[in-house]
Amino acid sequence: MKTIRLSIIGFGAVGQGVARSILSKNEYFNENGIDLIVVGISDSKGSEVDALGIDLENALNRKKQKGTVANGKESALEIIEHVEHDIVIEATPTNIDDGEPGLSNMLAAFNSGKHVVTSNKGPLALCFSELREAAEDNGVLFRYEATVGGAVPIFNLIHEALAGNRVIRIEGILNGTTNYILTRMTEEMLNYELVLKEAQELGIAEADPTYDVEGIDSACKLVIIANSIFKEDATYRDVDVTGITKITPEALELANKNNYVIKLICEAGNGSLIVAPRLVPKKHPLAVGGTLNVASILTDLAGRITIIGKGAGSIETASSILSDILYIARNS
């Protein structure tokens, strides 16, 4: 049995999803010869540390009742640097102004010889090459499947399953919120403001929807793709971004009459990075509705491969994080 010790830095929807999936998958890990132990959890109010393994059920209940997991004062950085463990799960919220606190957390993890698995887009959209180099210099692994497309395994697919292929172009819908808004506007002929309100009530859009509807979230994901797959040293500022706020129900109706839908499409290839509303033929594989995400990858050997799945959600995102944890467990 191989023991892998983890810390979960950031205990919001994603962090809790990870804890819940570790609990529910205990048997699976044991069958695969892996014993996962969480030795530290931190959220914005404090932390819990136990070198022998935190009782996750207990931690989740405490979070639910008190709004924090805290029963101790160690900071995230103290846990990362001073508690002995193997993998840091960095699941703090995305911040695209300076990438903090995720950026410092990740660098501290690498510099203290720990692997990083993350769902946090901010640091990767701003400083991808710096992070990759820090991981390489310290001989540790850096995995970020959960940053793009939620449960949809884009990086694993390209780096592992499609190894040997050259990727020519990637197009996709990488933001479920805007996809939901555009789908509902088309179906119900409702205007943008009304559907946004509906999405906010359902918890699909945030109170401040700017990141999603202005295409910022999509652009961050495209930057991570550009760095990871095209090895471009791109940052968020290199993306040509147009959001969906100006789209009218009439435009969607006109497109619909001519067998098109309008989708917020991310496109990377030929050195250009574009996020913009585009016309997509209704029968095209990219024309998926609701909150779904989709990525269509054009390669030189395999041709076009398209994957569709859930782009958000606590457990769905945890699925990508777990797969990265298992990758490290098997390859380190």
Partner 1 sequence: MIVSMTLELKDIPGQLVLALSPISEFHGNIMSVIHQHEEKTPRGTIPVQITFEIDQRVLNELIERLEKSGVRVARVGEERLRSSVSVVLIGHIVHSDIGDTIEKIDSTGFAEVVDLSLAMPAINRTSSSYLVINAVGEKELKKALEILREVSKKKDLLMIEPIRLNSGAP
Binding residue (CB under 8 A) for partner 1 from 113, 188, 300, 330: 300
CB of 175 to partner 1, least distance (A): 16
Q: Which of 286, 288, 326, 328 binds partner 1 (CB under 8 A)?
A: 286
Q: Which of 18, 237, 232 is nearest to 145 (CA)?
A: 18
| CA–CA dist 138, 133 (Å, integer) | 8
- Binding of residue 222 to partner 1 (CB under 8 A): no
User: Which residue from 168, 190, 292, 312 is in contact with partner 1, where contact means CB under 8 A?
Assistant: 168
Break the chain down into helix, strand, coil percent, rounded to 5: 45, 25, 35
Which of residues 23, 37, 194, 276 is near partner 1 by CB under 8 A?
276
Q: Is it true that the peptide bond before 101 is cis, omega within 30 degrees of 0?
A: yes
Four-residue CA torsion sign, 238, 319, 91, 213: positive
- Using the rule CB under 8 A, give the single segment among 67-75, 91-99, 133-141, 245-253 that binds partner 1: 245-253
d(CA 215, CA 48): 36
- Which pair of structure tokens corresponds to residue 49? 């540390």
| List 221, 246, 283, 310, catalytic entry | 221
Query: Is 294 one of the binding residues for partner 1 (CB under 8 A)?
Result: no
Site for partner 1 contains 190 (CB under 8 A): no
Smaller CB distance to partner 1: residue 38 or 262?
A: 262
Two tokens, residue 132: 């990759």
Judged by CB, which is closer to partner 1: 90, or 171? 171
Query: Which CB sits closer to partner 1, 34 or 251?
Result: 251
How many Cβ atoms from other residues are within 10 Å of residue 270's Cβ? 9
Task: Tell me if 73 contacts partner 1 by CB under 8 A.
Answer: no
Stretch that binds partner 1, among 7-15, 123-131, 228-236, 246-254 (CB under 8 A): 246-254
Cα of first residue to Cα of last residue in the chain, in angstroms, is 14
**221 classed as catalytic:** yes
What is 90-139 written as a DSSP string? E-PPP-TTT-TTHHHHHHHHHHTT-EEEE--HHHHHHHHHHHHHHHHHTT
| Cα–Cα distance, 32 to 322 (Å, whole number) | 13
Under the criterion CB under 8 A, does residue 302 sit at the interface with partner 1?
no
Query: Which residue among 51, 202, 254, 302 contacts partner 1 (CB under 8 A)?
Result: 254
| DSSP run (H or E) holding 308 | strand 303-310
Residues in region 134-163 near partner 1 by CB under 8 A:
none
Site residues (CB under 8 A) for partner 1?
A: 166, 168-169, 171, 242, 246-248, 250-251, 253-255, 257-258, 260, 262, 265, 267, 269, 276-281, 284, 286, 298, 300, 303-304
Residues recognised as catalytic? 221
